[in-house]
Amino acid sequence: MFILDHHSKLPLYTQLYDQMKAGVLSGKLPSHSKLLSVRELAAELSISRNTVENAYLELCAEGYIYSKPRSGYFVSALAPDALPLPSPRIKEQRAHLPEPEPKGSIDFHPARLDPDTFPTSLWRRCFLDSLRQSRSALAQYGAPQGELRLRSSIRRYLERSRGVACDPEQVVICSGLQQSLDLVAQILKERRPAVAVENPGFHLPRSIFRNHGFETVPIAVGSGGLDLDALESSGATLVYVTPSHQFPTGCVMPIANRLSLIEWANAGDRLVIEDDYDSELRYHGKPIPSLQGLHPDGNIVYLGTFSKVLSPALRVSYLVLPYALLSAYRRLFRDYACTVSLLEQATLARFMEQGDWDRHLRRMRTLYQKKHDAMLRAVETHFGPKALVLGQGAGLHMVLELSQHDLSEKELISRARSKGIELFPYSATCAEEVGSCSRVVLGFGGVKPDVIDRGVELLSRAWY
């Protein structure tokens, strides 16, 4: 007997399907036994024939039952171990899975954006305009490197804002840093060079290159950025750097070191991957020139993203390949399709062409500078000489170097969470395990200015 709940959100035919399937698998419905006809079962359960018919057809399509012409439906004979039901042991294990730890009410993650800043109305207008004017394109696949309109808009923007000199054919539209580095790793996989990475530095590049079989070589970062002497002696022929705003320390590589790094790349068959992830968010002084702009014909792959100012949810980034790598890229990926939605590309191209991107940038720079300054004031007020701020003046985060305490990083994070505050561990940026860590990453992008002050005050109380 099947019992159906007419008040359930689950459709009746699905309830019937589930119960009959369970009966077949458990043996309660014996193999080759004849089922009630559609008319009989519908009458017995007081439901429509269509409901029974739909359940029978789905069970038949999946092989749980079979039909005979003019005879009806019968239960299929299944092997004893076919599609076994979850054992009690598995159910018990599932019941004891640990619950995820609750997140703090104040999240100082370094990659959060202000949730109220996405230009919804402007984006909707550009999206609908693109939808109306690009209807024919919806029946086609896009260009493998991304749409020419968007690549041309990015080229113009990079030229005037970062000094990057390139042609649209060198620009590749990607769906985030992960894909950008994945493409570079595949281009260089035959040579499989040792890859130098910043230490501390962003953890994702280390993972991507290791997953592709590359050896990663951690290189220390100082006040002038990457240690170039250590790089020279490392034997690496590929290096990933964030020279304009090093993550997480926030230091800027001075021009002399930039020129030395370019010279290092030119001295042999070497390559620099320049990740310019948040160059738009510089609050004081002149913009820092890009490495690629200093030597456009050099062995430099330039990476950029829209995630830090517009939205990480859009998953739109780009890379600029030197001409020396273009032929290898096209040979490897000529059969690939661009992973970014054609509509999103058309919308972003229109957003940039109409000047909305530049206006949005100016608004975001003003907003995040206010948050940046609020964070500095809060640290000065509540920590005073007990904390030194590193990496101020740009981006969406800064680093606190704490003194006068003997807490481990785990204890610092645990005490912060007890006050309702979530922190990103500084140790996650280190290529090797660190013992004691007196540094804390504080992101301010996703936190309101008044909440910043309250959160920093709570941290001071938790740690001192």
Decide if pLDDT at 102 tops 90. no
The residue among 33 and 268 whose pLDDT is bigger is 33
Q: What is the CA radius of gyration of the chain?
A: 29
| Confidence category of residue 75, pLDDT binned at 50, 70, 90 | very high
Within 8 A by CB and 6+ apart from 171, the residues are 145, 146, 151, 154, 155, 318, 319, 320
- Each residue's pLDDT tens digit, 44-67: 999 999 999 999 999 999 989 999
Look at residue 6 and tell me whether its pLDDT is greater than 70. yes
Segment 418-431 mean pLDDT: 94
The per-residue pLDDT for 160 is: 92
User: Tens digit of pLDDT for each residue in 214-263?
Assistant: 999 999 999 899 999 999 999 999 999 999 999 999 999 999 999 999 99
The predicted pLDDT at position 1 comes to 74
Contact assessment for residue 303 and residue 177, using Cβ atoms and an 8 Å cutoff: yes
Answer for the pair 379, 373: CB distance below 8 angstroms, yes or no: no
Q: Which amino acid is at 451?
A: V
CA pair distance 140, 143, nearest whole angstrom: 9
* Start-to-end Cα distance in the chain: 67
pLDDT tens, position by position, 137-153: 778 888 899 999 999 99
pLDDT, tens digit, 9 for 90 and up, residues 111-140: 999 999 999 999 999 999 999 887 777 788
In this prediction, residue 191 has a pLDDT band, given cuts at 50, 70 and 90, of confident
**Percentage of residues in the chain with pLDDT exceeding 70?**
94
pLDDT of res. 90:
47
422, containing H or E segment:
strand 421-422
CA 18/CA 10 separation, integer angstroms:
11
What pLDDT digit, counting tens, does each position of 301-327 carry? Answer: 999 999 999 999 999 999 999 999 999
Element (H, E) at 406: none
What does the pLDDT average to over 273-290?
88
Torsion sign over Cα 76, 80, 82, 83? positive
> pLDDT digit string (tens) for 353-378?
999 999 999 999 999 999 999 999 99
Model confidence at 434: pLDDT above 70: no
User: What is the set of domains in the chain, with CATH numbers?
Assistant: 12-75 (1.10.10.10), 106-112+359-463 (3.90.1150.10), 120-354 (3.40.640.10)
In this structure, the number of other CB atoms found within 10 A of the CB of residue 148 comes to: 15
pLDDT tens digits for 414-423?
Answer: 999 999 999 9
Mean pLDDT along residues 371-395: 95
Q: 328 and 132 in contact (C-beta within 8 Å)?
A: no
Say if residue 163's pLDDT is above 60. Answer: yes
* Cα–Cα distance measured from residue 418 to residue 220, given in angstroms and rounded to the nearest whole number: 33
CA 102 – CA 246 distance, rounded (Å): 30
